[in-house]
A and B are shown apart, each in its own frame.
Chain A
Amino acid sequence: MSIDSTTRTTKSGSGHKPRSVAFTALWPSSVGLGMRNVRNIRRLPSAFLPSLLMPIIQAVAFSGTFFAVTQIPGFPTDRSINWYLPLGVILGCGFAGIGVGFTTVRDIESGFYDRLRMTPVPRLALITGPTLGALIRALVVTTTVFLVGLLIGARLTDGMLGLLMLYVASLGVATLGTFWGLALAYRFRDMRGAAIMQLTFFLALFLSDAQTPLSVMEGWLHGVARVNPFTNILRLGRQGFLGDVTWANTWGGLVAIAAICALTLWFAVASLNRLRD
């Protein structure tokens, strides 16, 4: 069944159906499903807290452990936290998105998803709704980690424009993380998918210039990181902590986010359409 066919079926047979059922639109359905996702923060904090605490611990731990790395000639900042804070934010937002995949696996296993698919909600809302929820979670993560970062010495080098770039990168990663998590949840329908979601995202992120800039790297990782689109996304998010915001440091990240989001959205829609009873 395609995404459109559900909506068409509902409309074509809507002669005696209540208006609210016959005309369930994408946006209100998405908002409803998104709010359900957000409410789970309060109802199931143990599922959300790791995605909030992990980037904080990671940013603090990396900037402390690798404090001296900024002394390597060519390192673009003298504050290690300025380098590792955006990494922590993007890691946390990616996991906030992937967390939607975990929730979906649980919903599929408990049978809730079957009931959801029987409602007259547009199929696309099953993807856009949780994505809205993930974006709200990502806003919380980015803001919290940024504030903690400020407390331990992070400084913006190009004012609010730099902060805006961090938000763009983090929300982009949360979006692609959500699409990827949903696609794998639909494919695997059990917790095997959860392990693959985490592992692939983790590998993709760390096989980039996550730990040191390309100019400082040596050996095999340099070749991999140079072509890894996550290097562009990290450059986009980091530029406001390393110098001025420039178009040269921006467009590559935007293209990478758009391309990965398009691919993962296509994969998620195809996987959702394959989801059978």
Chain B
Amino acid sequence: MTAVVARPSSVDLEPSLGAQTWEMSKRAIIALARQPALVVPSLVFPLFFLALGSSSFARAINLPGFPEVDSYLDFGVAGAIMQGVLFGSVTGAAALATDIENGFFDRLIASPVARPSIIVGRLAGAMAFGAAQTVFFLVVLLPFGLNVEGGVLGGLVLVASGTLISLCVGALMSMMALRTGSSEAVQGAFPLLFILLFFSSAFFPRQTMQGVYGDLAGYNPVSYIIEGMRDIVIDGVSAWAVVRAVLIPAALCVFTVLLAMRSMNKRLARG
């Protein structure tokens, strides 16, 4: 005789991995929306710097090495998107570190929530913010004379690029959050991102740089992503521009997400 034991209804109602991830993503997005003080700087500062640059470097676009471009605004928008997304990605990862610091992460681990959804949810929040930032920059700058030669399709490619960059950097910063468990350490990565941004062609073309500085900008993948985005703004959508603006960050994402998942597993193994 075989006894049939009914499973508790709570187990039957356990949400799927997708549903759990969605809930975690929603939490990450709502947390960002509820703390404007953390979000606003990564929206305002890139615009401020671009406004400064448009006035300060208006005559620089005629220098040898600059592409043919109508204004510094068109030239600099790709750098502004990169700047905003880089600095915005730190915010999401710092929130993960705060979860670890205040014990919420441990309570999540103690609950029957699927482990990947914790990190994937957080990264999805970062991606949503990256996409929103890119749309925000484009919408705000259009009335000031921004001309995206790639049109709507070009705008969509830029949003895809911004989303992937935020995933890439968000995963990298999440790895740091999981390893250190310190929001201060994550915030401390800010100078690293500053260097990554400034030692690239974010604000001036690589062709105008010389010596070691030019070499470093040449090794920096950020330069190529920005140049792909810039080509979409200045010249329109092309296969080569899409490869640099979308495929390079996509390839980097594979690497950084794997690193983040590995750090997550290590933290879980440590208990």
Contact = CB atoms under 8 A, between A and B. Distances in A.
A212 B199 contact: no
Contacts of A266: none
Interface residues of B, number: 27
Given A61-B199, A64-B199, A66-B203, A218 B209 contact: no
B55 A220 contact: yes
B58 A68 contact: no
Interface string B37-60: 100000000001001111111111
Interface residues of A, number: 28
A78 to B, nearest CB: 13
B60 A219 contact: no
A67 interface: yes
B57 A211 contact: yes
B56 A67 contact: no
Contacts of A216: 56, 59
B209 A211 contact: no
Contacts of A218: 55, 58-59
A217 interface: yes
A217 B57 CA distance: 7
A67 B199 CA distance: 12
B174 to A, nearest CB: 23
Nearest to B45: A202
Contact of A69 (B57, B191, B198, B210): B57
Given A57-B195, A61-B198, A220-B55, A68 B213 contact: no
A65 B200 CA distance: 8
Contacts of B54: 219
B56 to A, nearest CB: 4
A6 to B, nearest CB: 36
Contacts of B59: 72-73, 216, 218
A71 interface: yes
B52 A211 contact: yes
A68 B195 contact: no
Most B Cβ at <10 Å: residue of A65, A195, A221: A65
Contacts of B213: 64-65, 67
A203 B60 CA distance: 23
Of B55, B60, B195, B204, most buried by chain A (CB within 10 Å of CB) is B55
A144 to B, nearest CB: 16
A22 B203 CA distance: 60
A88 to B, nearest CB: 12
Contacts of B55: 217-222
A72 B191 contact: no
Contacts of A221: 51-52, 55-56
Contacts of A220: 51, 55
A51 to B, nearest CB: 12
Interface in A64-112: 64-69, 71-73
A212 B57 contact: yes
A68 B203 CA distance: 12
A65 B56 contact: no
Contacts of A38: none
B58 A219 contact: yes
Interface of B: 37, 48, 51-60, 63-65, 191, 194-195, 198-199, 202-204, 208-210, 213
Interface of A: 50, 53-54, 57, 61-62, 64-69, 71-73, 195, 203, 206-207, 211-212, 216-222
Closest 8 CB pairs of A and B: A221-B55, A64-B213, A68-B208, A61-B198, A218-B58, A219-B55, A211-B56, A212-B56
26 contacts: A54-B191, A57-B194, A57-B195, A57-B198, A61-B195, A61-B198, A64-B209, A65-B203, A65-B204, A65-B213, A66-B203, A66-B204, A67-B209, A68-B60, A72-B59, A72-B63, A206-B48, A206-B52, A211-B52, A211-B56, A217-B55, A217-B56, A218-B58, A218-B59, A220-B55, A221-B51
Given A65-B213, A203-B48, 15 more contacts: A57-B191, A61-B194, A61-B195, A62-B198, A65-B204, A66-B57, A67-B209, A67-B213, A68-B65, A68-B204, A68-B208, A71-B63, A71-B64, A73-B59, A207-B52
